[in-house]
Chain A
């Protein structure tokens, strides 16, 4: 009999207590925000400094060393650098990032040696932007070409010309050596 009454008492008391707690939440402000249109400030502004949003590349800063490409476990980065007459060292011919594949692991950013960018926004050539709204309707929308297609074709031509010139130069210097052809993507 005591267990019987105790069960009834326990059940009602604990239900009472639980309901008091849930009621107290009616008197509190919800913690969720109304994304995306009723925010006090845009979400990227509230994110911490090293937030890993979308992967981006600063094509000005990039030295086309391809270290990021090698560091990526899943071939997200597709890039090529070749010598042209535009600048000393390698010129970026194309740089595509497959956002659909990226797993935001930060390995490419850590591999990047070009560290002279804007300290505020990013300090490596390849970096994570704070923007995370990158959805698209098709898989091909998720491929971002940082050097536009026409520009890339133009650069490729230039690179081939340069390669041809250098080959000719090399051939002139040492005639018997077979000229080595460079890159035809």
Chain B
């Protein structure tokens, strides 16, 4: 593409001030096929063009943070599943690491490896939903079902690892809830061989499709600077060209022993930080997860899976913030303990989806209605993670 045409494409389609005529106020959501749960936008549209948009959150608020204050630390673990049900073990891990750091609890080596298996599998599953729902919102149903089919295979694996398919509640303070045998590891390795083939096929099915690319390139461009100002994190930030991955920058578990690349958006089809970059970054990240899983499989050793943890856990007075790289960006748990009771004084959860939501009002301006859907889907927002 020549620079002149690129400049032309980068220009907003309409100058907002030039719009004449009446605006229609349409209500997209909370019950709408492509708002991924219950998120609502109030769109002021002129024809097909959005003049102004007001995102509205809170329809899925379950006051999870408040619930935490009324129960012992260990009881809150199943609730963290529900923060982001698409990547439940990721949320478990963030909470467990925060508490362990605060209480100085030991974690056996095998437990950490098992945690990493769970987390990376869950990250792939979550990205599969993300890259599957994107073509679904653009009108292609089949890629979505293919992605969910692979997710289903992974759920079968998680079923062996954790005992449940979703909302796993797998991680405990100082360990994990159950061990696996070598048969599972073999199954996982066999599945990964299949997964690589699937990923390649999926890219040929939809990722190279001309219509798909045309729908996504140069749509919803978030530059690196803008992304930081919106406090984006995770794949959305990396798609904007900033290679910040907490697994590299602030390693936890055994991530500093792992060899993996951090895929960043390069604007291969349009501009850095457009919707297609967000798609391709997720695809590449799944391939990286697959590499990490293979390394874990080669390094995992036998051993205990649970360390000694006091029955009634009372954390020392003070506060701690621990962040992990979840599938949807930085997942941080800020825990305040008063040092006396067995339940936290306050827990604040920082989630990636909520940060992504902040960009909507600004980016939606001047977009077409179809682009609104494409941009929103490319952010891979999960409604419960926004509201908690």
Contact = CB atoms under 8 A, between A and B. Distances in A.
A110 B171 CA distance: 13
Interface stretch (A12-20, A84-92, A135-143, A162-170): A12-20
Given A52-B163, A106-B163, A22 B78 contact: no
Nearest to B201: A21
Contact of B78 (A7, A11, A48, A103): A103
Nearest to B179: A50
Contacts, number: 62
Interface stretch (B207-215, B240-248, B334-342, B353-361): B207-215
Interface string B37-78: 000000000000000000000000000000000010011111
Given A50-B178, A51-B159, A110-B177, A103 B167 contact: yes
B163 A51 contact: yes
A153 interface: no
Interface string B137-170: 0000010000001001000000110011001010
B204 A11 contact: no
Nearest to B157: A48
Interface in B83-141: none
A14 B163 contact: no
B159 A48 contact: yes
Interface in B172-222: 172, 177-178, 201, 204-206, 208-211
A147 B270 CA distance: 67
B308 to A, nearest CB: 14
A151 interface: no
B210 A11 contact: yes
A144 to B, nearest CB: 20
B137 to A, nearest CB: 17
Contacts of B211: 11, 15
A121 interface: no
Nearest to A67: B311
A22 B177 contact: no
A17 B208 CA distance: 9
Given A7-B210, A103-B78, A107-B75, A21 B204 contact: yes
Identify the interface centre among A50, A107, A110: most chain B CB within 10 Å of its CB.
Answer: A50
Q: Is the interface on chain B under 10, 10 to 19, 20 to 34, or 35 or more residues? A: 20 to 34
Nearest to A20: B204
Contacts of A50: 163, 178
A103 to B, nearest CB: 6
Interface residues of A, number: 24
Contacts of A105: 77-78, 81, 169
Nearest to A17: B204
Interface in A4-36: 7, 10-11, 14-15, 17-18, 21-22, 31
Contacts of B208: 14, 17
B75 A18 contact: no
Nearest to B210: A11
Nearest to B160: A48
Contacts of B209: 14-15, 18
29 contacts: A10-B210, A11-B210, A14-B208, A14-B209, A14-B210, A15-B210, A17-B204, A17-B208, A21-B204, A47-B159, A48-B160, A48-B163, A50-B178, A51-B159, A52-B163, A52-B164, A73-B71, A73-B75, A73-B79, A103-B169, A104-B164, A104-B169, A105-B78, A105-B81, A106-B163, A106-B169, A107-B74, A107-B75, A107-B78
Interface of A: 3, 7, 10-11, 14-15, 17-18, 21-22, 31, 47-48, 50-52, 73, 103-107, 110, 128
**5 closest Cβ contacts across the A-B interface?**
A105-B78, A73-B75, A11-B210, A48-B160, A50-B163
Interface of B: 1, 71, 74-79, 81, 142, 149, 152, 159-160, 163-164, 167, 169, 172, 177-178, 201, 204-206, 208-211
